[in-house]
Amino acid sequence: MNDALLYWGLILIAGALLLAVVEVFLPSGGIIGLVAGILAIVGVVVLFRFDTTWGLTGLLGLIVLVPATVAFAFKVWPHTPMGRKFILGSETEEERAERLVLERQERDQIYAILDARGTSITPLHPVGVVLIDGTRYDALAEGTWIEANRTVRVTKVDGLQIKVREV
């Protein structure tokens, strides 16, 4: 018998399993996984060409190792940079702290303009853009509509929503 078929079959199956693990870490749109599947099928066919017993052993080995590889991937993937981006709520403590600081700064900046005066850039029917202290804000007209280029005063800040009245 030709031992080269045995070696090639085992190498192809090992390569398929290795590529399946690589697929977890490198975003390829499934191309690496597809190549891994093709290598696994070709590896089993080569083992069957060598000997039926080796072919069945390779097939049963894949039946056991493929689910184990998938389980390993699901266990490891959330801890990869790509996995953290895809899974909601899996931001790191540093990312969460940075996000909270930015949200707090934005909220403080908006609350700082309470009772400030500015100019309506666009008509507020009822929503438009106002210019306050050199910064553009989306604002909601309180009461009546406000035309462009009118002086406005910030009357209320509710979350990130700014309400203004014409002065």
- Residue 104 lies inside a defined structural domain of this protein: no
Please report, in angstroms and rounded to a whole number, the separation of the first and last CA atoms in the chain: 97
CATH code for the domain of 142: 2.40.50.140
pTM of the model: 0.51
- Residue 54 belongs to a domain: yes
How many angstroms separate the CA atoms of 71 and 65, rounded? 10
Residue closest to 166 by CA, chosen among 149, 148, 146, 137: 146
pLDDT digits (tens, 9 = 90+) for 150-163: 999 999 998 778 99
151 shares a domain with 76: no
pLDDT confidence of residue 137: 92
Range of 125's domain? 112-166
| Residues 56-114: tens digit of each pLDDT | 999 999 999 888 888 888 888 888 777 777 776 666 788 889 999 998 988 888 888 99
The domain total for the chain is 2
| Shared-domain flag, residues 80 and 141 | no
pLDDT tens column, 1-20? 578 999 999 999 999 999 98
